[in-house]
Structure 1
Amino acid sequence: DEPICFDGYLDVDYETPEGRQTFRVGIERAHMEEDTGKLTHVGSDTGRIHGATTSLLDVNRAGVPLIEIVTKPIEGAGEHAPEVARAYVTALRDLLRALNVSDVRMDQGSLRCDANVSLRPIGQAEFGTRTETKNVNSLRSVERAIRYEMQRQAALLTDGTAIIQETRHWHEDTGVTTSGRVKSDAEDYRYFPEPDLVPVAPSAEWIEQLRSQLPEPPAERSKRLREEWGISEKEMQSVINAGALDLVLATIAEGADPAASRKWWLGELARRANDEGVELESLAITAQQVADLEGLVQSGRLNDKLARQVIDGVLAGEGEPAAVADSRGLQIVSDDSALLEAIKAAIEADPDAAQKIRDGKVAAAGALVGSVMKATKGQADAARVRELVLQELGQ
């Protein structure tokens, strides 16, 4: 009938224009709860009960145990509060995942965040009136929702308008929060005993035994991997900030080398996730598929350009990488005779570039290589094409 722990903290790192900073987020308490049913309101434009024609009740999650972790007021973050909040939720997610207590998928509701925001004038001791934005369901949304709410409250206070203490709803599509329900001044958690459970009083010996069995902390793991991979702290931080570390590790476990795994998750796949406005782990591609894709590149069947087309197919649900490559007819042209035919056509179409190469200006080969790549629809090995171009023109 009491919080299971209290008065803790978590140190988090975040990026600023001045460089990487560390911020200590105080934790007020953590207490156990049971999940409730889920209401889905149908018929309204906002998905809320106002204007809905039907309300559906899903009780599948009812009774599932959960832990609510409540932070202390985060003072001193200032304009960097959105970044600090995202860094905190990210660090907490990584820690819980490392402990294997949850898959902490925000998009699936196994990790949820309610973001409380209040502003106060510089020098004022009392906290401002706060709002609580409910169930923000991605790391990106945590940062965006808090930044929006800070700006909204600042505009109201500047105009002399009072902030209403209320819950608010975050809308990912429009990037705004809207009013929910008015809240009272104090939270009443109403702790009460569970009659079917006896009190648990763990001994110091048991606590130490459990502590000795804990997995490697995420921060220590990151340092170890950075040294193993031979990359800089900044490069490792890029992997972590992108939410790609576990995905990269899983891809390596499936047979890809570390550099290639990072290349795909931090490059093309990160771009796709950003375009879709989702987390990397929400993309419809697995670590096994990325490793298989890299295997096709290493075998010489695909180059990176063709591999990106295979990614298109995998994300579209067309199948595994090899099957997508087969169905789309994607394969590097490795027949030198076919390449020479395309090279001769390119030379005939651009005699000026050909003459420059004959005169020793090999940089002009780029124009002919580009023509061949276009003619082969990107299915030639550019390095091999360049080599053959220079041979054909006596260089």
Structure 2
Amino acid sequence: MRFPLPDVGEGLVEAEILTWHVQVGQTVKVNDIFVEIETSKAAVELPAPYEGVVTELLAKPGETVAVGTPIIVFDIDPNGAPASDNGGGGTKIGEESADGRIQSLVGYGPRTGAATRRARKGAAPVVVEAPAPKPEPEPVLVPAGGYVPLAKPPVRKLAKELGVDLRSLAADGQVITRDDVQRAATPEPAAAPIVVAGERERRVPVRGVRKATAKAVTESAYTAPHVTEFLTIDVTPMMELRARLKNHPGFRDVKLTPLAFAAKAVCLAVRRTPDINALWDEQAGEIVYKSYVHLGIAAATPRGLVVPKVHDADQMSLRELGEAIEALTVKARDGKTTPAEMANGTFTITNVGVFGVDTGTPIINPGESAILALGAIRDMPWVVDGQVVPRKVCQLSLSFDHRVIDGQQGSEFLADVGALLADPSIAITY
């Protein structure tokens, strides 16, 4: 039984094979993870839809495969019915079964034998022959033995950069670590360095997250007319509140960052300027105003820039926002963000301050109309009551789509966010 690469996201057309978790000859059960793939949005683990023996792996690690292309062959029940926990059901993935359920990727598979309709009382059963299977293309075979070493995406990336063959590092079933790769890449001491022409450059294929990011920012930059405004604020009261909350019983186990305060300020400010949370629909010729905030948090990961979403962030407390942002950031860095967590954003925050950067001109994410950059918080001289004193100072920058948001709305929104960060107590007035 050949298993085709499924669309695990929303309209994805291809994915890269990252790691096979099985090898030829291995027996798998329903829902066993057999491969990890990388789409333009996230790394995804695929569960086995059948119980059987792996007879062929049809794609190599690093190979980009189109959705619908067979990637693995299972030897299942000789009669054609997969031995799964759905009772040997015969409904294909994505189709509706006899009991009205839509079969998902996990636990269901096609049945190639004949199907029997339930007969009316007193009538003989009607047998409907299944259509003859279409001829399948010849498989792309993996190297002899079918063994693929186990390693996390950052380790594979490091090995690729250092020119280390992962197959030479581990025995069957051993997980390769970063230290293994670095040790293998360390050359033996030589009498004199040898310089080989052409080794001062390296070429890396554009694919996965990097390819998707490039496409998205290019389309955004040349489609939405960007306007960027800047605001410098004294956030000393916010930092003082953050310090107090660390000792509050309700926040002791929460990583409460300035980003969480900025997220809460954005959600409150959107109430007064809903245009910020709207969307320009070119095809329909409409502006779509959204009454919910799916807040994107730009995160730098080993795979590149990803923007997971905190769904319904406007319904969350400060504590809940802090917990949600931390959870999403950890998942993103581990490459475990799901396609659903990457979709349907309405507004994004990018925290360039964590890199020691004061400000920037961020590019709006496609499908949104504005993005806020949060700069580094620094000790700077500031005038308070006519006196120059040291204060905690931060710069904000807001890029917005001028088709949807006029200068007045953009300025009012940025001023509201700044006011909430400069004096969190005014939040009770919103």
Normalised to the residue count of structure 1, the TM-score between the two structures is: 0.27
Normalised to the residue count of structure 2, the TM-score between the two structures is: 0.26
- Structure of higher RCO (CA pairs closer than 8 Å, 6+ residues apart): 2
Report which of the two has the higher share of strand: 2
Report which of the two has the higher share of helix: 1
